[in-house]
Structures are given as structure tokens and as C-alpha cells.
Amino acid sequence: MLAGLAEAGVPIDRADLVVGTSAGSVVGAQVCSGVPLDELYQRQLAPVTGEIAAKLGLRVLARYAASAVGGDDRKARARLGRQALRARTVPEADRRAVIAGRLPSHDWPAHPRLLVTAVEATTGAAVTWDRDSGVPLVDAVAASCAVPLVWPPMTIDGKRYVDGGVRSAANVDYASGCSRVLVLAPTTASIRVSGRIGRQLATLGPRVRSAVFSPDAEARAAMGRNVLDPAFRAASARTGRRQAASVAQAAAALF
């Protein structure tokens, strides 16, 4: 999608802030690395190597839903985080190596500011890291991508963290202070109202201009039923780039 928007003339490189959640933290680190977008796009079309197979099945999704019901937001996140701590997964080091292999640079970008989101597993506290946090970029991204019950919670300074998507699919409200917000969200689903993109955009104020783009029907089909299966990566990339043409005008209006 980003490569297609850039090809259509949308100056997405003018962004001052990039908020990355879950897989979006990988994308954020990639697009802020200085590597040209078209080169990053071509990498998505290459044969998949260095990945670990995983599945986000109905049983896992049901446990997500059950954890989200009742209590305040933080307690709900903590319920899921504690389950993640007990789950059997691959070792942290193996998962971290996968994330490191996805990032063309392991250094935080000087510009734009990259904000990576996560959730502390035991307490449910929402956290963010940037270049001034003192946390290595690979560790921050690995934590943001630590899908509960699928991947291991990641350890940073003695604490364990799970996926930033546990709080919200896009964490749009972290764009506080921005006057124009472009949201690319592979999923907009949220059981809890506080995590919904529309609700979070509303907290930014009435004068904020925004646009939200999600996969169309063709793109959803290309992504497959298991969003954690890298075998669908190339097809997803192609349909995302195609869809960009249909939303380019709306995206350009923000700039």
C-alpha cells in the first residue's frame, strides 16, 4: 500500500511521526530505515526464508475474546498477558532472530520519529518506545509483534511484553499533537470500544484531518485465513499495491 501510494505521488515521506503496532512496527521500522519503498516492496515478493510457521486459530481468537470481556481495559489486557506468559511457544531468542532478519537497519531512525507500541504482560500497562527510550529497536519491535499465545512475550529490562495490538489494532491516539493522520490498518476489529480506530481518532480533536485505509475484498482474500502465514506475503503485497491506486486521491488530500 505504501509503495503504491508513493508511486501515485502521495508524499508519505513527509510524515513526522510513524506509529507502529504489531506487524506495523516492522513496517514502521522498514519504511523509516532509509531503504527505498520500492526496494522494500520487492523484498515482500521474494521467497520467504528465515520465518517460523504459526497459526492464529479459532481457539486462540476465542481466548482473546474471553479475556477482553469485563473489567477495565488494563485488567483485560493483563488477563491475556498472563495467559501468554504460561503458553508454550518457541524460545524468545528464536523469535527475536526472525524479527532482526526482517529489519534492514537495527538502529532507530533519526527522522521521522518512530513510535513502537507494546503491553506489559503482567500488569496490562500500555508502553511505547522511541529512539530516546534506550531500548534496542529489534527488542522493541519483537515485543510489539509478540502475539499472545502464539509467540513468546519478550523480555526488556527484566519485564515481559506482548503485542501492542492487545491495546488497539492501530493505537491511533498515540498520534496526539498531529494535525493530519493517515491510518493503514490491516484489521480494524476491536472487542473493547477503547481500542476502536474511530473512537481513538475522535480523541485527537475535531480539527484533525484523517483517513483510514483497510484491505478491500480482493486484498482480504489474498491475505488468507491465517494472517500469520508468510506464504501469503507476496500476494498480499501485490493486492495492497493495486488497492493504493483507488485511495491515492484521499491520501493525497491530507498533504
Rounded to a whole number of angstroms, the distance between the first and last alpha carbons of the chain is: 17
CA–CA dist 167, 65 (Å, integer)? 13
> What cell numbers appear for 148 in the block?
499472545
Verify whether residue 22 is a known catalytic residue: yes
When divided into structural domains, the chain yields a total of: 1
User: Is 246 annotated in the active site?
Assistant: no
Q: Are 181 and 62 in contact (CB under 8 A)?
A: no
Q: Which three cell numbers stand for residue 3?
A: 509503495
3-state SS class at 139: helix
Q: Domain residues for 86?
A: 1-253
Query: Closest by alpha carbon to 114, among 180, 20, 210, 37?
Result: 20
Among candidate residues 25, 163, 173, 214, the one labeled active-site is: 163
Show pLDDT as tens, one digit a residue, over the chain (255 residues).
999 999 999 999 999 999 999 999 999 999 999 999 999 999 999 999 899 989 888 888 898 889 888 889 999 999 999 999 999 999 999 999 999 999 999 999 999 999 999 999 999 999 999 999 999 999 999 999 999 999 999 999 999 999 999 999 999 999 999 999 999 999 888 888 999 999 999 999 999 999 999 999 999 999 998 989 999 999 999 999 999 999 999 999 998
What is the per-residue pLDDT for 55? 86
Half-sphere exposure of 227 (CA within 13 A, CB side): 14
C-alpha cell at 239: 493486492
Do residues 39 and 6 touch, judged by C-beta distance below 8 A? Answer: no
Q: What torsion, rounded to 10 degrees, do the Cα atoms 131, 5, 21, 168 define?
A: 130
Determine which one of 22, 67, 144, 210 is catalytic: 22
250 is written with which cell numbers?
Answer: 484521499
At residue 204, the 3 state secondary structure works out as coil
Residue with cell 493505537: 171
Q: Give the three-class secondary structure for 238.
A: helix
Q: Are 149 and 83 in contact (CB under 8 A)?
A: yes
Cα 193 to the center of its chain, rounded Å? 19
Q: What are the Cα distances from residue 27, in Å, to 3, 23, 124, 148? A: 12, 7, 24, 20
- pLDDT confidence of residue 220: 95
